[in-house]
Structure 1
Amino acid sequence: MKKILFLLFVLPLVACGGSTEQVDQESTQQELASISIENQKNEILLDEIVNPDSEKAKPIKKESVFLSDYKTYKNIDEKIKLEKINAAQTLDQPWGMDFIDSNTLIITEKKGNLILFDLNKKISKDIKHDIPVVQSGQGGLLDVVFFDQFLYLSFTKLDENLKLTTAIGRGKFIKPFNTLDDFQIIFEAKPYYSDRIHFGSRIVIKDNYLYATIGERGQGIAAQKVNSHAGSIIRINLDGSIPDNPYADIKGALPELYMIGLRNPQGMTIANEQILITNHGAKGGDFLGLLSSGGNYGWNEIGWGGTNYSGTKIGKGEPFRDDFNLPIISWVPSIAPSNLKVYQGNEFPEWAGDILVCSLKFEMLILVTIEDEKPIEFKSLAKNKIGRIRDIEIDKKGKIYLITDEKNSYLWKITKD
């Protein structure tokens, strides 16, 4: 059986200057031109990385980032059956979904709708709620997680100065009445910004902690500052209180911070005892990596192989640095990754332990084959067939469900052909 068990690189915090551009490839369908990278091999080797997360940290020799190019992916659609589930009723820019039982999904729409979908009857119902959500730019009602009778939701919130932020709240779901009761906000990212981009917003619950991704809102170097949530992953208790986080005792730091140095992370999933994330780079440099306590991925001192949209270099032009965390995979050109899942189930037993990544930009699902704890092969599914794939869920039998970030879109199911 394959395992997803990657080495954790937890590296020192670096606070530096820099600049960025406020263009976001996750929200555009235009294909960006490929950029050249000095090392054209599949791997960039670093001589030595240390892991100070271990009490007896030893140098790890020549660990690598896998550079992946979508143009090399083999399509395997002949092995799958792609089925439209909700043919009678479309969705309007759905963003997140989660199972509440084996036959029922809850789906969010950016404009604020919360939808209960019965997979057996193929019918949907609106859930009544009073979430103070505002749809603006890339914001709106975004992710949803069902846990212990509560729905946890991320959404865009407006303040009295007409600025926006990522907020997270929870309410008790009363299924017989299709209502969300006693909704309470348990987190608001600080500060609020006028920009309408890079909200992050993916949620995972693990070991009774809630983790959430927060985009850097187009603010660039704010992702290196610990007095801001911009460009981070936060960790809180399920009631919104703060656990023993790595920045909790640092003067001036926001105590919810768990990891910093990200641009716009929109994917997060549990893999064994670890958490995997995806992050949007600029023009190239999207990545898949590991969440690590106190870690720093380096935005915008580095760009993970990418450049600014104008073609200018990010920071000093270094793709990676050994004082920042290393991703596992970097995509050049960009694929605009959204959510991801580690596959388990009987529908495709040969994929057990492999990773499925949603690509918005190239409208495909990417299958990353894992062997000896490393990515070795990439394949595409459903390419250019259903639209910009935003979220993925896998049921207990291994059937795959997808939603696309489009108006008049559908819920799709992938099974073995």
Structure 2
Amino acid sequence: MKTPVGLVTVALTAAILLTATLVIATGTRGEETEFPSSAGGLEVRTFARGLVNPWSLTFLPDGRMLVTERPGRIRVVSAEGQLSPPLKGVPDVWASGQGGMLDVAIDKSYAQNKTIYFCFAERTGGGGGRTAIARAKLNDGGGRLDETKIIFRQEGPLSSGNHYGCRIAQADDGNLFVTLGDHGSHREQAQDLGNHLGKVIRIAPDGSAAAGNPFIGRAGAKPEIWSYGHRNGQGLAINPASGDVWEVEHGPRGGDELNIIRTAKNYGWPVIGFGLEYSGGKIHESTAKDGMEQPVKYWVPSISPSGMLFYTGKLFPKWSGSLFVGALSGSMLVRLSLNGNGVAGEERLLQNLHERIRDVRQGPDGALWLLTDSSNGRILRVTPSAK
């Protein structure tokens, strides 16, 4: 007998409230529980800990979660915050530098097909790595993935360990948008349509180029490409108000970008931008050029944005429609208030937590759920303060 959805949500919320570990407010790094915000006080609770550089979090329909760890693991997290052993059936992952197990997403028809998608750095025989995307079915009882298949492999010069991307967003038509990095030392390839470096791609669930892609049939261009001229996109989300695809990407020394991704558009990297070489030298020709898109927003100095969501829950009614972005080097959660396709304001949250925020998700309870990026990473649940 199926449990009514409402009862599942009530049970999940009750379990969370009863079992989440409250971090004691002693004033030491990472232990504060009360944080100010424009929506009132925020309470932060540790829901699970002991993850090694967790990278992505997604909710299953029954309230459990899937979480990835960069060393090459996927785990199931129970509604009580218990971590499963690593799932079996995961392909060989090259956990080197910034590479490893990256994003995970469930199919929109997961309740019927049990299908998940994930991306990772794949070791190659050429002395480097590349971003690969796999599809599998979650075997709940067996603690494994079944029918695992790599459906897409990034083509172009290999990475020595940097700038893989990779975030996945599934549109209502079932097609997947995916960010692919420029591999760091191959930045000029982001302007070359003959490879997948520094691109946002759009693929069907089987990994083939999605129908209607702008470069299908164009000689010398990869048919999976949707947009190009990107550096290292680590946040991707579809705006429920408009259906537009939004992306955040790392700049070098300054110049992180928030972009609205349009078909066939060139976002300029490395020709235009707002950052510098890490040495302080010049990278770009200018900050603007005909035929190249401008970001909706950029950050100087860098915050290293990672993970993003459009908030639609009821737990924070003042924040309905806001865009949330995690920050790594910035060690905070950023809330952007929007006015159509423009940014009307920025609020920097949880700065006293002193944690690298790798991912941010909205839970079925309307809370904000965060992953902290460290060798003892945590899943955090953020709710309005009860005080």
TM-score (ref. length: structure 1): 0.79
Contact 1:94 1:406 in 2 (8 A): yes
Separation in structure 1 between the aligned mates of residue 158 and residue 75 of structure 2, nearest angstrom = 29
Q: 5 Å matches for 1:315-326?
A: 315-316=284-285, 318-326=286-294
Bigger mean CA deviation after superposition, 392-401 or 364-373: 364-373
Task: Read off the aligned partner of 2:330 and give its amino acid letter.
Answer: F
**C-alpha RMSD over aligned residues:** 1.6
* Deviation of 1:312 (Å): 2.0
* Deviation of 1:78 (Å): 5.6
Separation in structure 2 between the aligned mates of residue 99 and residue 397 of structure 1, nearest angstrom = 11
Contact 1:76 1:381 in 2 (8 A): no
* Deviation of 1:373 (Å): 4.4
Task: Read off the aligned partner of 1:415 and give its amino acid letter.
Answer: T
Give the equivalent residue in structure 1 for 2:167.
202
Could you tell me the percent identity over the aligned residues?
A: 32
* Deviation of 1:209 (Å): 0.5
* Deviation of 1:309 (Å): 1.7
Give the equivalent residue in structure 1 for 2:204.
237
Separation in structure 2 between the aligned mates of residue 400 and residue 130 of structure 1, nearest angstrom = 28
- The correspondence for 1:125, drawn from 84, 101, 107, is 84
Separation in structure 2 between the aligned mates of residue 282 and residue 321 of structure 1, nearest angstrom = 19
Q: 5 Å matches for 1:108-187?
A: 108-119=68-79, 121-126=80-85, 127-147=87-107, 148=110, 149-187=114-152
* Deviation of 1:315 (Å): 2.7
Contact 2:331 2:354 in 1 (8 A): yes
- Can you list the C-alpha shifts for 1:184-213, whole angstroms capped at 9, x where unaligned? 000000124142100001111112101111
For residue 51 of structure 2, give the secondary structure of its aligned residue in structure 1.
coil
Matched, 1:254 2:238: no
For residue 391 of structure 1, give the secondary structure of its aligned residue in structure 2.
strand
Matched, 1:298 2:263: no
Task: Read off the aligned partner of 1:125 and give its amino acid letter.
Answer: S
Task: Read off the aligned partner of 2:41 and give its amino acid letter.
Answer: K
- Can you list the C-alpha shifts for 1:95-132, whole angstroms capped at 9, x where unaligned? 0111112521100001111110012x221112222312
Contact 2:236 2:245 in 1 (8 A): yes
Task: Read off the aligned partner of 1:375 and give its amino acid letter.
Answer: V
- Can you list the C-alpha shifts for 1:73-101, whole angstroms capped at 9, x where unaligned? x9659621111112xx4110000111112
For residue 75 of structure 2, give the secondary structure of its aligned residue in structure 1.
strand
Contact 1:82 1:382 in 2 (8 A): no
Tell me the matched-pair count. 339
- The correspondence for 2:191, drawn from 209, 213, 224, is 224
Q: 5 Å matches for 1:64-83?
A: 79-83=41-45
- The correspondence for 1:213, drawn from 176, 179, 204, is 179
Separation in structure 1 between the aligned mates of residue 282 and residue 247 of structure 2, nearest angstrom = 24
For residue 300 of structure 1, give the secondary structure of its aligned residue in structure 2.
coil
Contact 2:233 2:250 in 1 (8 A): yes
For residue 96 of structure 2, give the secondary structure of its aligned residue in structure 1.
coil
Give the equivalent residue in structure 2 for 1:95.
55
Give the equivalent residue in structure 2 for 1:60.
none
Matched, 1:311 2:280: yes
Separation in structure 1 between the aligned mates of residue 151 and residue 377 of structure 2, nearest angstrom = 31
- Can you list the C-alpha shifts for 1:347-367, whole angstroms capped at 9, x where unaligned? 101101011011101110001
For residue 201 of structure 1, give the secondary structure of its aligned residue in structure 2.
strand
Larger RCO, structure (CA 8 Å, separation 6 or more): 1
Q: 5 Å matches for 1:401-412?
A: 401-412=369-380
* Unpaired segments ≥5 residues, structure 2: 1-35
* Unpaired segments ≥5 residues, structure 1: 1-73
* Deviation of 1:290 (Å): 0.7
Contact 2:63 2:364 in 1 (8 A): no
Task: Read off the aligned partner of 1:295 and give its amino acid letter.
Answer: K
Task: Read off the aligned partner of 2:187 and give its amino acid letter.
Answer: G
* Deviation of 1:320 (Å): 2.2
Separation in structure 1 between the aligned mates of residue 255 and residue 157 of structure 2, nearest angstrom = 26
Contact 1:77 1:382 in 2 (8 A): no
Contact 1:208 1:238 in 2 (8 A): yes
For residue 259 of structure 1, give the secondary structure of its aligned residue in structure 2.
strand
For residue 351 of structure 2, give the secondary structure of its aligned residue in structure 1.
coil
